[in-house]
Chains A and B, each alone.
Chain A
Amino acid sequence: MRSSLELKERRTWRWLLCLAGGSVAAAAEPTFYAARVAPVLDRHCVVCHGPEKKKAGLRLDSFDHLMAGAESGSIVKPGDVKGSELHRRITLPATDEEVMPSDGKPSLSADEIKIIALWIEAGASPTKSLADFPTAPALRPARVAPVPLAPSWREKAAEIAALEKKFGVKLVPRSQVPTDGLVLRSASAPQRCNDQVLAGLAPVARFIVDAELARTPVTDAGLKALGSWENLRAIDLTRTKVTSAGLAALSGLKHLEVINLTDTAVDDAGVTTLRALPGLKRAWLFGSKATVTQYPVATAP
């Protein structure tokens, strides 16, 4: 994983060089500072130590600033990892008052700390290249913000709670991120979660991304309701009375990725219907009347 990322990085670089005329010497490879050290500081420190905020008089947004140090003096002693304030601050226990980043922000990963340590140890050079640090870990790409799966349910929390109570189902946030959507859970009382309940959930249906309906009395009539739950990613209909005919009602669910039809009467006609769903990754059909037990038919992982 690590090496392929690095490889890609180098390839892009070479490719850029080609565009630039291709004759530039290998010395133009990215410096270790630019490729590894700066991104770590950018990610964790520059909000407080940059052009806007300069806490303790320290800026970390360029090599020169970093080496200029803070009000109290330099923070990097080339070649002396233990003696460098920069290293000390990022390796303190998370509970220490002096730990950086401060304010309980996530601490540096072991790999990130190692990058800084290797760099200081090798003389805190602005020019040494990536290739000079064969043992340095690669950087993981910053976590991209999660793609919203549904609108935030927060405004509707009261209505959601009222419907939960009315219908005896649970509408559980998938995570603390409100745009991760809700899971409809029926496991506590599957027999209560029938077609009428699904129809009754319409006012909050757009928040639901995962409908757990195994062993409920849901029939094809219920699928009509589900057909308008625009943000559904997954539906579990294990051991319900749904049939192939009912699946046609789901044809508008463009985000649907997984549908579980284990132990249902769905047959090959249903599989044909499902095939038209643009986002579908897997339909589970074990114990159904279809001639395959899953669609698309398994390709080994």
Chain B
Amino acid sequence: MSAHPDFHDHSLCSDHGGEHPSVWDLPQVPLGLKREWLALETRRHFLGRGVKALGAAGLATLLGRTAPNLLANVAAAGTPGPNFAPKAKRAIYLFMAGSPSQFETWDYKPGLAKMFDQDLPESVRGGQVLTGMTASQARFPIAPSRYAFAQHGKAGHWVSELFPHTAKIADELCVLKSLHTEAINHEPAILQLTTGNMFAGRPSIGAWLSYGLGAANDELPTFVVMTSKMPVRTNVQALSNRLWSSGFLSPEHAAVALRAGNDPVLYINNPAGVDGDLRQAMIAGVNDLNRQLFERVGDPEINARIAQYEMAFRMQTSVPELTDFSSEPASTWELYGPKAKEPGTYAYNCLMARRLAERGVRFTQVFLRTWDQHSNLPTNIKVMAEESDRATYALVTDLKQRGLLDDTLVIWGGEFGRTVYSQGVLRPDNYGRDHHPRCFSMWLAGGGVKPGVSYGETDDFSYNIVKDPVHIRDLHATLLHLFGLDHNKLSFKFQGLDQRLTGVLPSRVIDAILA
């Protein structure tokens, strides 16, 4: 697929169905756009025939889509391109699934130390409905952070002692302390962050970027996802491809999941006894058959499949080069630490994320899960922080030294916050925290975000937001803005709506954190 944005006003591109000169005849249209057009043309072709012969509606329904959507999609397809000059060329989203507690990480609440085991004032909770896991507790005793905080950098960010490495890059970080969400459970909450909606089936952020901006490198997927080895084995969050799907967008916008080990992308290696030429001939044959099938039934998904086969074939050469770390200098291993040599670890994935960024992959999402400390929080969060801290610091530092941080946005955070009160037993050295959607912290670095600032405030119990709330929609609007995309304009017609990553509820770009 070409990366050419569509410079045309979309309202002008309609499927009028009549005779028109071929797009190849138009002198002012760049080649990339023409290619996009050709892809569309195949859909037009089907629709034209469908209307004349078969009745597009019936057939399209058979194929799992309804005709009106198909028609609408034709008008909406193509690559919209940045509305204005972007700051970020790529993003790396370090997703801390399970949700790190804000109390032990980024939202320092010194006043709580004196309130150990006191009851959370009723007025703070304000009658909020609690999750089933703590609703039946007789008491809601305050659990101060077991870990100390100190100020770091010129920015003076308060950083937990659990993150000694991240503390060194404090001046690069924009810490958001006032994120909030509606979801109270992991799956919907993670979906809301990755796709903008608690229900599965929407395109993920990376898919929207792929749709909106196209590929910068045709040899690699535009959107890559990696899940990391789990440091802890309790309270494991399910991660599935609904978190990185293309939803109603064309399937080529979905992420390719890179796996640990010898087969980073499943099934792209040649089976034993099959050489490259044979494989190429085979793919050409399959694609021929697919094209014939397309001629008969006209499902645009068939074309997407053809594109996928071709991409898979190209990845046969691009992926081995990508995953061969032998050219990395010794300084890389000193920076990322020995774990980065072990495929599948978070540290390895962070290094891979840098290599993907260097090669123009637009959106890389790395998941590190098991941050879900309902009990034994002090012990387990330490294990998690150790896993995350050094590699995260290494990634930001590495991007910075290689001149990539200015146009690479890094995001670190989980899917919601945790409660100020202890879930289960409370001892000074042991407690747990339940899910808390009303406020949580995240940080951003690079990619056109103001470094060394903090945004938003919570009350003394980090229970409610008192200043500058940031909904997930606002985060998404801001992210798209950094890529030069107006979140109101990046849309795709589906089910009768102009669907957007930010949905229909009000959302805003957080101007105050733009560099």
Seen from chain A, the residues whose Cβ lies within 8 Å of a Cβ on chain B are 1-2, 94, 109-110, 140, 146, 154-155, 157-158, 160-162, 164-165, 170-178, 180, 185, 187-189, 212, 214, 236, 238, 258, 260, 262, 282, 284, 286-287, 293-294, 300-301
Contact = CB atoms under 8 A, between A and B. Distances in A.
Interface in B212-229: 215-219
Given A258-B406, A282-B403, A161 B31 contact: yes
Interface stretch (B2-10, B68-76, B231-239, B458-466): B2-10
B128 interface: no
23 contacts: A2-B512, A161-B30, A170-B4, A170-B216, A172-B5, A175-B5, A176-B7, A176-B82, A180-B85, A185-B360, A187-B217, A187-B359, A188-B219, A212-B360, A214-B358, A236-B403, A238-B403, A262-B402, A262-B403, A300-B153, A301-B154, A301-B172, A301-B452
B511 to A, nearest CB: 7
Contact of A175 (B83, B215, B451): B83
Given A140-B511, A262-B403, A176 B81 contact: yes
Contacts of A236: 403
A284 to B, nearest CB: 3
A146 B153 CA distance: 34
B471 interface: no
Contacts of A177: 84-85
A171 B9 CA distance: 20
A175 B218 contact: no
Which of B27, B403, B508 neighbours the largest number of chain A CB atoms within 10 Å of its CB?
A: B403
A301 B400 CA distance: 12
A175 B84 contact: yes
A284 B402 contact: yes
B32 interface: yes
Given A214-B358, A286-B401, A185 B81 contact: no
A160 B153 contact: no
Contact of A173 (B5, B154, B216): B5
A287 B216 contact: no
B484 interface: yes
A171 B413 CA distance: 35
A185 B30 contact: no
B64 interface: no
Given A146-B84, A176-B83, 9 more contacts: A157-B28, A173-B7, A174-B82, A174-B484, A175-B83, A180-B85, A185-B3, A188-B219, A188-B360
A208 to B, nearest CB: 14
Top 8 A-B residue pairs of the complex, sorted by shortest distance between their CB atoms: A284-B403, A161-B31, A187-B360, A187-B217, A301-B451, A260-B403, A188-B218, A286-B401
Contacts of B369: none
Given A109-B508, A188-B217, A284-B402, A174 B85 contact: yes
Interface residues of B, number: 43
B167 to A, nearest CB: 14
A172 B401 contact: no
B496 interface: no
Contacts of B512: 1-2
B230 to A, nearest CB: 33
B360 A238 contact: no
B15 interface: no
A300 B171 contact: yes
Interface in B406-451: 406, 451
Nearest to A154: B28
B506 interface: yes
A189 B360 CA distance: 12
A236 B403 CA distance: 9
Contacts of A262: 401-403
Contacts of B81: 173, 175-176
Contacts of B329: 287
Contacts of B219: 187-189
Contacts of B506: 110
B293 interface: no
B29 interface: yes
B82 A286 contact: no
Contacts of B401: 262, 284, 286, 293-294
A185 B89 CA distance: 12
A262 B85 CA distance: 25
A300 B3 contact: no
Interface in B469-515: 484, 488, 506, 508, 511-512
A212 B452 CA distance: 28
B84 A170 contact: no
B216 A157 contact: no
Given A164-B32, A170-B32, A301-B451, A146 B5 contact: no
Contacts of A178: 7
